[in-house]
Amino acid sequence: MRTTSAQKAKAAGKPRLRDAEATKARILEAAKKEFAKNGLGGARVDVIAEKANANKRMIYHYFDGKDHLFQTVLEDAYNGIRTAEQKLNLNDLEPKAALEKLVRFTWEYYLKHPEFITLVNSENLHRAKHLKKSQVVRATSRKFVGMVKELLERGVSEGVFRPGIDPVQLNLTIAAIGYYYITNRFTGSIVFERDLMAKDALEERVQFNIETIMRMVCA
Amino acid sequence: MRTTSAQKAKAAGKPRLRDAEATKARILEAAKKEFAKNGLGGARVDVIAEKANANKRMIYHYFDGKDHLFQTVLEDAYNGIRTAEQKLNLNDLEPKAALEKLVRFTWEYYLKHPEFITLVNSENLHRAKHLKKSQVVRATSRKFVGMVKELLERGVSEGVFRPGIDPVQLNLTIAAIGYYYITNRFTGSIVFERDLMAKDALEERVQFNIETIMRMVCA
Amino acid sequence: MRTTSAQKAKAAGKPRLRDAEATKARILEAAKKEFAKNGLGGARVDVIAEKANANKRMIYHYFDGKDHLFQTVLEDAYNGIRTAEQKLNLNDLEPKAALEKLVRFTWEYYLKHPEFITLVNSENLHRAKHLKKSQVVRATSRKFVGMVKELLERGVSEGVFRPGIDPVQLNLTIAAIGYYYITNRFTGSIVFERDLMAKDALEERVQFNIETIMRMVCA
Amino acid sequence: MRTTSAQKAKAAGKPRLRDAEATKARILEAAKKEFAKNGLGGARVDVIAEKANANKRMIYHYFDGKDHLFQTVLEDAYNGIRTAEQKLNLNDLEPKAALEKLVRFTWEYYLKHPEFITLVNSENLHRAKHLKKSQVVRATSRKFVGMVKELLERGVSEGVFRPGIDPVQLNLTIAAIGYYYITNRFTGSIVFERDLMAKDALEERVQFNIETIMRMVCA
DNA sequence: CATGAATGAGGATTCATTCAT
DNA sequence: GATGAATGAATCCTCATTCAT
């Protein structure tokens, strides 16, 4: 393993300066927050630079402009959720438990990572022009769909799931019932005149979601 | 020299007085499209004025700036869906048919009015700061929730629906499974490697959604 | 004749404000100077706006950016020299006198309008990408070449000019011997260790140029 | 990891000492091209460094910044043409042949070295501020003017040239008729609606130039 | 000798909004 | 009521140059 300059700086007890990787990471992190908060159009390059404790010029040096930076952030976001999903090890559980775990996980992931939702919304506003360029996302997503498909098949063969359910439709629905609630938490709280983000409300929602999916899938 | 709307009206022998309303309407229509296409932040006042065949100054005259214009557009959008929902006359149908009609209606409304979705997304990006000011939306929404609540109760008393289902949660879910699909049609088509907006795909989806809700609600 | 707002303003004794034509003209004039002084790349939009006593935004409003502004300035410059050439009325003079008048005019025009030279140099640095779009320049230039061609033919038929001289080559040479001297006045003054722009030097040069051309053309 | 020039030299068994000169030369060559293509203002230090396969820092190390680098390039350019001129050995030819050779040489030099022209144009845009600092250019130029002066005197004494011709004026004209044509090849090709750089056009031009000068100088 | 990370001062361009008529 | 000219404050991006190793 090569000794990075970051490690050298650390070893020398100095603050992280002149460390390309660290700077890139800081920019990426700051960009994620800024894009999540304000969308692609509303995000400000200056603000990202400032929050990253980096020079604005570095953003162009490392990421070649705002758009490409957004694309990188978006890819990272997709990688994040897909990686987490892979770690669920649904195969180690019996079908019903596995399905419930997936619904609960999806919900909790959105809850913990609302920035993922804002990023995706922003990307859809831009007609997915950044995602179109990404090959990685397709590959990892395919893998994920495969995982759910296997789960469904296993459940069917064990006689606990109904046959004939499309894994893509199921995936979409599992995502939808969580995503929609979170992304519309502000307007929803007004329209329905209740605080959708209150602790009880969140708990109630996840139960409702689990029940919705179980009733749909179980035999 | 361009013919102004005022002149046109004059030429047509119409009184000038109605121009004000017409101009307002044109601005509102143009604004809806522009906001839907680009979000609040991405929309351009110049473009709205141009598309409305109106003077930019008029936007400030009638709507007091971009933000307030957005708020008006948003309120109109909510009025639109709420009005359409009221016309469903769910009471004239037996519970199951009424519920299916509602699910189908919701799906079709989103499909026909994707601008509603973009506007709501934009509003959530801005933490619902415009909607907070609106009183009308709360009132009409309350009415809508009441409608669903009655339907549920009727179904329960007739023994076709399960008891104990929260009308708000149900509403949220009915909306979610349609809204999510439409708003994420661009990224979704890439991630799942299929054209989510293809005719067959849309038909398949609405059936899946109906089944999801029926299984959740029916006894 | 329509009453322009400029005239109205004038009539009212007010300073020229809110006068589109006047603002455009001021921007154009300022741009000519700035481009002449620093070339296209070296010119600063801020400086042009300031010198034009106009808002920077107006430059984009009226001229659609720096490049297009340069193109307009360049076209104006070509129009200027071509218009002046047309006013020479070489047909009213006998061939030799007409030719001498042309040489002297060309020299004096460059001397009075060094900005024309700088603009053309800048345009050549950019491989004539702006001029390529202009149709007017081609037409007026064609007319000018025709004028010289007629002069040559007249001189030949009167027996004072040699036959077989290409008007384009002659034009190029008449321009060259003046243009080169003026455009390279700074380096030339150093290289040849004499002030090329001194009054005597200029007079000497025009005589030399006239003699060069007369000897080339006369029978 | 990219192989640095230092490593290459090492691998080739060469002493590291020569690398300095090689790096300087590479930078100079890259700078000449970049300045020629885009002028002083339009040239980019990054691009020069990249093309020179050198580190940007080296430019500052060896040349003390962009301006001084330009000055060096410019001096080299002048040295180039002056050196070539000295090699003409005009004294070995009879006056007329020598003069024709000079005209032809000048033309061909510009044709082969259009970068010389761009550099000189750039320098004149900057009012010769770099050249002013150079002493060498003055000396070599003086020598060149002397060469032409001697040629003229020899021609006069042999009765083939007219007396009274100023060598500086003649030099200027010989340069002008070639330089102007080349520097304005882009705009010229449009204005005169013919490809000035076509093979035939170039041949025609050099003949025209030779005739222009011969008619001017010969008795 | 050489590297590449970092920077501050601009540079062109855009935008919502106000002003004068 | 309507128009279009005008503006200042951003906003993204670029550049020559210096710093730390």
Query: Are residues D155 and C96 in contact, defined by beta-carbon separation less than 8 angstroms?
Result: no
Distance between the alpha carbon (CA) of D126 and the C1' atom of E7, Å = 28
The shortest CB-CB distance from C176 to any of D38, D176, D185 is to D176
pLDDT of residue C10: 35
The shortest CB-CB distance from C208 to any of D39, D169, D175 is to D169
D141: distance to nearest CA of chain C, Å?
6
Average pLDDT over residues D147-175: 97
Tokens of C68: 């297009």
Tokens of C205: 């040069």
DSSP-derived secondary structure letter, D90: G
Q: What does the DSSP assignment read for D185-217? A: HHHHHHHTTS-TTSHHHHHHHHHHHHHHHHHHH
Average pLDDT over residues C131-144: 90
Any chain B CB within 8 A of the CB of A207? no
pLDDT tens digits for range B35-49: 999 999 999 999 999
Q: Domains for chain B: give ranges and CATH numbers.
A: 1-64 (1.10.10.60), 70-217 (1.10.357.10)
pLDDT tens digits for range B66-92: 999 999 999 999 999 999 999 999 999
Which residue minimizes Cα–C1' distance to F9?
A: C57
Q: Which of C131, C180, C213 to mutate to test the interface with D (most CBs of D within 10 A)?
A: C180
Q: Which of D186, D193, D195, D200 to mutate to test the interface with C (most CBs of C within 10 A)?
A: D186
D54: distance to nearest CA of chain C, Å?
26
What is the C-alpha to C-alpha distance for residues A142 and A164, in angstroms, rounded to an integer?
Answer: 19
Given a cut of 70, whether residue A2 has pLDDT beyond it is no
What is the C-alpha to C-alpha distance for residues C127 and C192, in angstroms, rounded to an integer?
Answer: 30
Chains B, A in contact, 3 or more Cβ pairs below 8 Å? yes
Dihedral angle over CA of A129, A135, A136, A139, nearest 10? 120
E runs forming strands in B39-115: none
What is the C-alpha to C-alpha distance for residues C188 and C211, in angstroms, rounded to an integer?
Answer: 21
Given a cut of 90, whether residue C33 has pLDDT beyond it is yes
CB-neighbour burial class of residue A182 (10 A; exposed 0-12, middle 13-18, buried 19+): buried
Q: Which of D127, D140, D205, D212 to mutate to test the interface with C (most CBs of C within 10 A)?
A: D212
pLDDT tens digits for range A104-135: 999 999 999 999 999 999 999 999 999 998 88
Distances, alpha carbon C181 to alpha carbons B40, C121, C167, C189, D129, in Å: 58, 14, 22, 10, 18
Average pLDDT over residues A61-74: 94
C22: distance to nearest CA of chain D, Å?
30
Any chain D CB within 8 A of the CB of C198? no
pLDDT of residue A52: 92
pLDDT of residue A179: 98
pLDDT of residue D9: 41
Which residue minimizes Cα–C1' distance to E5?
A: A18
Contact call for D39 and C38, based on CB within 8 A: no
Tokens of C39: 């070339």
B-proximal residues of A, 35-74, CB under 8 Å:
38-39, 41-42
D-proximal residues of C, 150-169, CB under 8 Å:
166, 168-169
pLDDT tens digits for range C64-97: 999 999 999 999 999 999 999 999 999 999 999 9
Given a cut of 70, whether residue B5 has pLDDT beyond it is no
Nearest to A106 by CA among D90, D31, B203, B180: B180
E runs forming strands in A37-155: none
pLDDT of residue B18: 55
Collapsed DSSP state (helix, strand, coil) of residue B57: helix
CB-neighbour burial class of residue A2 (10 A; exposed 0-12, middle 13-18, buried 19+): exposed
What is the C-alpha to C-alpha distance for residues D103 and D90, in angstroms, rounded to an integer?
Answer: 12
DSSP-derived secondary structure letter, B94: -
Using the structure block, give the residue that is written with the tokens 């214009």: B69
pLDDT of residue C17: 53
Any chain B CB within 8 A of the CB of A198? no
Any chain D CB within 8 A of the CB of C124? yes
Counting residues of chain C whose pLDDT is more than 90, the rounded percentage is 85
User: What is the rounded average pLDDT for all residues in chain D?
Assistant: 90
pLDDT tens digits for range D13-41: 444 445 778 889 999 999 999 999 999 99
- What's the farthest any 2 CA atoms get from each other in chain B? 70
- List the Cα angle D166/D167/D173 in 5-degree steps: 95
pLDDT of residue A17: 54
User: What is the rounded average pLDDT for all residues in chain A?
Assistant: 90
For residue C218, report the phi and psi dihedrals to the nearest 5 degrees.
Answer: -70, 150
pLDDT of residue D13: 41
Q: Which of A50-54, B19-23, C26-30 has the lowest mean pLDDT?
A: B19-23
Chains that touch C (3 or more CB pairs under 8 A): D
Tokens of D43: 């040239």
Give the confidence band of B2 by pLDDT, cuts at 50, 70, 90: very low
D29: distance to nearest CA of chain C, Å?
19
Given a cut of 50, whether residue B194 has pLDDT beyond it is yes
The Cβ of residue A40 has, within 10 Å, a number of other Cβ atoms equal to: 25
Q: Which of B194-203, D52-61, D104-113 has the lowest mean pLDDT?
A: D52-61
pLDDT of residue C144: 93
A184: which chain B residues are within 8 Å (Cβ-Cβ)? 120, 124, 179
User: What is the rounded average pLDDT for all residues in chain C?
Assistant: 91
What is the C-alpha to C-alpha distance for residues C57 and C55, in angstroms, rounded to an integer?
Answer: 5
What is the C-alpha to C-alpha distance for residues B98 and B203, in angstroms, rounded to an integer?
Answer: 19
Any chain A CB within 8 A of the CB of B214? no
pLDDT of residue C52: 93
Given a cut of 90, whether residue C47 has pLDDT beyond it is yes
CA atoms within 13 A on the CB side of B120: 29
Given a cut of 80, whether residue C118 has pLDDT beyond it is yes
Q: Which of A146-155, B94-103, C134-143, D94-103 has the lowest mean pLDDT?
A: C134-143
The shortest CB-CB distance from A180 to any of B137, B172, B204 is to B172
Any chain B CB within 8 A of the CB of A180? yes
Contact call for B168 and A120, based on CB within 8 A: no
Average pLDDT over residues D150-176: 97
Task: Give the relative orientation of helices D19-42 and D56-63 as an angle to the nearest 10 degrees.
Answer: 100
pLDDT of residue C89: 93
pLDDT of residue D22: 85
E runs forming strands in chain C: none
Given a cut of 50, whether residue A139 has pLDDT beyond it is yes
Distance between the alpha carbon (CA) of B46 and the C1' atom of E8, Å = 34
Counting residues of chain B whose pLDDT is more than 70, the rounded percentage is 92
DSSP-derived secondary structure letter, B90: G
Average pLDDT over residues D116-120: 97
Distances, alpha carbon D111 to alpha carbons C184, D137, D196, in Å: 18, 21, 12
pLDDT of residue C12: 36
Query: Are residues B118 and B36 in contact, defined by beta-carbon separation less than 8 angstroms?
Result: yes
